[in-house]
Amino acid sequence: MEDTTLKRKRGTSIQPRWYNQAYLLFLALRQHPENSLPRIQLIDAAIELDKKIGVELQLPRVFRGKTPKNSASATLTNNSDRYFIAFKPEGSKSTHFKLAYTPGNVGDAVKEYNSWCTKLVEHDWPFCFGVPKQQIEPHYHTPVSHTDDSDSIDAMDKDLVHLKLHDQSPSKIQPAVDSSIISQNGEDKADTVTIETAEIAKTTDVETENIVTDDTHINKDMEDDSNTEEGDHTMEDPDSSSNIGTPDPNQSVNTADMSNITDTPDADQNTDISVADPSTDIPVADQSTNTPVVEQSTDTLMTDQGKNSPVTDQSANTPVADQSANISDADASNTNSTDVGRKLNVQAYIEQMDTQDESAKPTRPKKQPIPPEPFITLEQLDLSNIPQSWRDIVRVAPSRIPFGGNGLFAKRKLPYNTPIGFYFGVPMTEDEFDSLKDRVGRSSEYSIMYRRTVLDATDDEGQPITDEDSPRFCPFHYMNETSSQKTASVAFVEGAIVNQIICWTKKDIEEGEELLVWYGKDVHRYWTEEEEEANRKKEHKESKVEKTRLVQERKMDRLLQRQERERALEEKKKRKELMKLDKLEQERIKKLKRQENKKTKKVVVQEEELLVPEKGQLIIVDESGAFFSQDELDQQRLCTTQPMKDIILVNYSE
């Protein structure tokens, strides 16, 4: 349900949703033994309770500012949450307040629910499900041709009246009386036009205020007073929300006495009704004759209540001339003023129809106003097939929605704009529901809000009532939710009675069709909120796991990087050691080489000494075993690549 009231921003994030001024006044009143206190005592008790709770729970006070008592008094006066009922005890000058309901009282809730259902069946359903015995005649009449013959005008006037009053009893419909006359100087002294009908719709017991959905609207009660010289008369609009299109045949109002019609202008209540178009120049009788001529617009026939006020089986575009009923031929022929009035009636009617013909040209079409619904009484309805309980109109069966469980189906055609029942629940305050029933079983799924009151539709274990013989059983708990507000066939309407939620049809529902509703934002959906909560938890868990995995991966990466660095350092160290060893080895090798070179040099020196052989000596190379002469040895020294260290020279004598 869309909340149209302004909500005060919470003073702190830890402040409970139920901690507000209205609920503290409710608690203060509930703590009193009689659940009733005068205004001043109730305000003082609520302010003291606010101080106490604020200290215990460490919450900011809701009654703060320079004038906390004025704030509390304004909350009591507004009573937007409908917690209280104001009354004045006998002999008391101050206003007292009592609780509108007892929270958690199952017996009182069931008793109230049964009384609503009884009134719905007995008072409203006959008008909703009754079938008209006769077809309603159309409001449009073929325009008549203009003539100056007074007899023809009288005949046409009678025909128009006869068409309008066809199949209608004279006791049921009376003509409208206009007290406006033209004075001697030609100025219009028009008084209020009073339209009276014999039977007016009685206000139904099922009153509505706000609709939970956005696309359905039920107007509030409209009741205005129309004051005339004869007295005050009140007309109630049967199309308003207080009347579900159902009149009460037992209620009636007084009608004007049309038996004494004279040509005296002073008798306003007895003047004939005449119509003249103010935009056209219509000749009137000589003003010296004091002939009463009425000037009134023929576009719409309205009372002080507004343009939607119903007239007994009359269209909004019907001229007032058609409404002058039950005028005898003798009265019509005995008074000249009546003849003049009738002439003006027909002339105005013809000019009006000509104007409508001109305005209806294809070049510039005008939107015609929609005529109001016909006014029907119980005598005009066939009441043989009126349902007597919810079992006659709906049944519980498996839903056609996949995984939808049980659903609610129509056993017969349910007309549009019909109250078919109530959504039952035991009223509880928000804090009590949060502490006792929230998250218990499926209580959050089946509970619904009436303003700030929770209507608990489950048992003590939080499960829905499935026994149809139980006094707490409500078939409308089985209505499944549609995907959007536009596709819903039933709307939840906030009733004028405290904690009353009406199930109202938004369209014609055929037999066998499943009833679907849009629960709004007040109902906890296990298929949405819980799933979303589970998804959030799952995502949170997955994100946590992912975060842990990422942390572990980062740790592993850092560990691998550290190991890689250590490995690189070790390899570098090894390389350094190897390089050092290589350097030492090279130095050792070089040293050995130097030593060998020294030895070789010594050998070479010895060789040089030996290579000066005497004549006749031979040189033998041990590796090849070749014998060289001195000349060959010299040549070998120049050509050989073999180092001299590998050559061992041996001297032999001849």
Higher pLDDT, 215 or 459: 459
Band of residue 327 on the pLDDT scale cut at 50, 70, 90: very low
Q: So what's the pLDDT on residue 212?
A: 44
Fold of the 21-100 domain: Arc Repressor Mutant, subunit A (1.10.10)
Question: What percentage of residues in the chain have a pLDDT greater than 70?
Answer: 51
| CA–CA gap between residue 105 and residue 182 (Å, rounded) | 66
pLDDT at residue 256 greater than cutoff 70: no
pLDDT at residue 361 greater than cutoff 90: no
pLDDT tens profile 532-557: 666 777 777 777 788 888 888 888 88
At 459 the three-state DSSP class reads coil
Q: So what's the pLDDT on residue 586?
A: 77
pLDDT tens profile 57-113: 888 888 988 899 999 999 999 988 888 899 998 888 889 999 888 888 888 999 999
For the chain, domain boundaries: 21-100, 102-130+199-254+386-527, 146-190+265-362, 530-601, 611-654
pLDDT tens profile 140-153: 444 444 444 445 44
pLDDT tens profile 261-302: 333 334 343 333 333 343 333 333 343 333 333 333 333 333
Backbone angles phi, psi at 233, to 5 degrees: -130, 140
Residue with tokens 């060893």: 581
Band of residue 452 on the pLDDT scale cut at 50, 70, 90: confident
Band of residue 419 on the pLDDT scale cut at 50, 70, 90: very high
pTM of the model: 0.46
| CA–CA gap between residue 445 and residue 453 (Å, rounded) | 15
CATH node for 102-130+199-254+386-527:
2.170.270.10
3-state SS of the chain: helix, strand, coil percent to 5?
A: 35, 15, 50
**Phi-psi domain of 326 (left: phi exceeds 0; alpha: psi -120 through 50; beta: other):** left
Q: Are 446 and 426 in contact (CB under 8 A)?
A: no
Token pair listed for 542: 């997955």
Please name every residue paired with 493 in a beta bridge, in sequence order, or none if there are none. Answer: 211, 502
Band of residue 357 on the pLDDT scale cut at 50, 70, 90: low
Band of residue 500 on the pLDDT scale cut at 50, 70, 90: very high
Q: Are 457 and 474 in contact (CB under 8 A)?
A: yes
Number of C-beta neighbours around residue 211 at 10 A:
20
User: How many angstroms separate the Cα of 250 from the Cα of each of 200, 201, 202, 375, 381?
Assistant: 9, 9, 9, 15, 15
**Phi-psi domain of 139 (left: phi exceeds 0; alpha: psi -120 through 50; beta: other):** alpha
User: How many angstroms separate the Cα of 86 from the Cα of each of 78, 101, 336, 496?
Assistant: 11, 13, 60, 16
Question: What percentage of residues in the chain have a pLDDT greater than 90?
Answer: 16
Q: So what's the pLDDT on residue 401?
A: 86
Higher pLDDT, 350 or 305: 350
pLDDT at residue 234 greater than cutoff 90: no
Residue 160's closest CA among 306, 337, 320, 330? 320
Residue with tokens 């009884």: 118
Q: So what's the pLDDT on residue 522?
A: 52
At 492 the three-state DSSP class reads strand
Q: Going by C-beta distance under 8 Å and a sequence separation of 6 or more, which residues neighbour residue 580?
A: none
